[in-house]
Structure formats: structure tokens, C-alpha cells
Amino acid sequence: MEVLVNEKLGFLTASGGGSGTVNGFFAMAGCESPNDVADPRCGRKRTYYHVHLEGWTEGYLSTWKQIQDDYPDTAPQIVGSMGYGGNSGQYISHEVIETAYAQEGLTLILYRSHNASWTNPSRYFDNISAFNTENIKLCNETRLMNSKAMEQYARVTGDWDGIDNSSGTVVGKCVQGHYWFAPVCRANPMTCYPFITAGPGYAYEHYMQKGKGSTCQW
């Protein structure tokens, strides 16, 4: 797109503004630090970002509405579809799926099979000790620091134990500097399996809700 805008339309262009959908929202709204999940520093009346491609607005409706309400002068607007739809979900390797089914008829392609009250899918995955934390973002770099998202998670699920407001600001409860544990993981974390998402926490609060009754941890 940058090449097309440069060479076909004749505009000088620069790309940036963030690594994900929400970062792009804040960049277009004129926020000075769109990548800062705790405080993107919004409020100025001028924006230097004018186009955001492939914005997954339906996944962040509350954030989108917040920006529209708080910064009407610079809030981004949806101007149409890019011409294709998209789906998102979790990926489990074919080998893991087939092994679980062959050994005990466990169908890991179905979300109900991840309910720790009935099954133990964690035996087919590594636990957090297998990961090098140098390659995992710190909690304060992720959407765990987004107060509105964490408050919404707690209200929807009733899991206030997964929230920390000791500093006076509501954030997700961080464990070992990198992780958030789902309720069933907190008593014995090593029996859980990790769920990894991209960037500053793509759809983080959604996956937190999905992991509330499973063996997942982030």
C-alpha cells in the first residue's frame, strides 16, 4: 500500500504508528504514544497518521467507542471494506491434535475438550518452564495494563482475583513478570499449558475470558 500511495497517487508516505489494531486506532486519533497500552497520551488536536489498514474493529468495540466519544475531532472513521473478510482463532499443531485423540479420544479441536473440570489437556503441551522469557513481553508492555479492558473482563467473568488494583489503577494480575494465570491455574500453575498471543496482546481480554474455565495461562 505504501508503494501504491507513493508511486501511483504521488503522496510522500511514512508507515508506523503501532504493531496492531488498537495501536493504529490511537495513532490515528493523534495520541503521542500509541504503543503505550497504559497511557497512549491522547488529546492533541492533530494527527500524523491518516490511514490504518486491516483494522479489526469488531474485536475492540469498546475501545473504538471510547476513542469516538473522547476524541471526536481526530477519531478515525471506517471508510469501507478492504474487499475480504478474516477469521481469528487459536492454533494447535496437527501432531498434538492427533496424539490426544489417539491416546484418549480427546478432541482438542473442540473448545469443550479444554475444560479442566473434565479433562487434562495440559499433558499434551509444554508448561511455562519450556519458554525463554527473554522472548516474551513483560506484563507492563501488554494489554494487561489497559484498565478499561481489565475492568470489562472482571465485570463479565466475576474473576476479580485476576485483577490487581493495589496501585490505584486496575490492571491484570501479573505473575513472574510475564504471565497472567487463569483461575484454574492459580493453585498449581505447572499443570497448565501456555497460550501465546501476538504483539502487545492481540485480543488479550477475549482470550482471558475463554481461558477462565480451562487449563490455559498466558
Measure the CA–CA gap between 209 and 154, rounded to whole angstroms: 9
Question: What is the predicted pLDDT for the residue at 59?
Answer: 76
Question: What is the predicted pLDDT for the residue at 17?
Answer: 65
Question: What is the predicted pLDDT for the residue at 50?
Answer: 87
The chain-wide mean pLDDT, for the chain, equals: 86
Task: Give residue-wise pLDDT tens across range 28-46.
Answer: 999 998 888 878 899 888 8
- pLDDT (mean) for 92-115: 92
Q: How would DSSP label each residue in 176-213?
A: TTTB-B-GGGSS-GGGSEE----TTTTTHHHHHHHGGG
Question: What is the predicted pLDDT for the residue at 174?
Answer: 92
215 — pLDDT class (breaks 50, 70, 90): very low
- pLDDT (mean) for 111-122: 84
Measure the CA–CA gap between 201 and 205, rounded to whole angstroms: 8
Q: Is the dihedral of CA 196, 15, 145, 151 positive or negative?
A: negative
Q: Which of 39-43, 96-100, 147-151, 178-182 has the highest mean pLDDT?
A: 96-100
Question: What is the predicted pLDDT for the residue at 96?
Answer: 95
Of 100-104, 118-122, 203-207, 212-216, the least confident: 212-216
Residue partners of 70: CB distance under 8 A and separation at least 6? 42
Task: Specify whether the CB–CB gap between 204 and 197 falls below 8 A.
Answer: yes
Task: Specify whether the CB–CB gap between 184 and 191 falls below 8 A.
Answer: no
Question: What is the predicted pLDDT for the residue at 52?
Answer: 86
* Percentage above 90 pLDDT, the chain: 30
1 — pLDDT class (breaks 50, 70, 90): confident
Is the pLDDT at 91 greater than 80, yes or no? yes
Question: What is the predicted pLDDT for the residue at 214?
Answer: 42
One-letter identity of residue 59: G
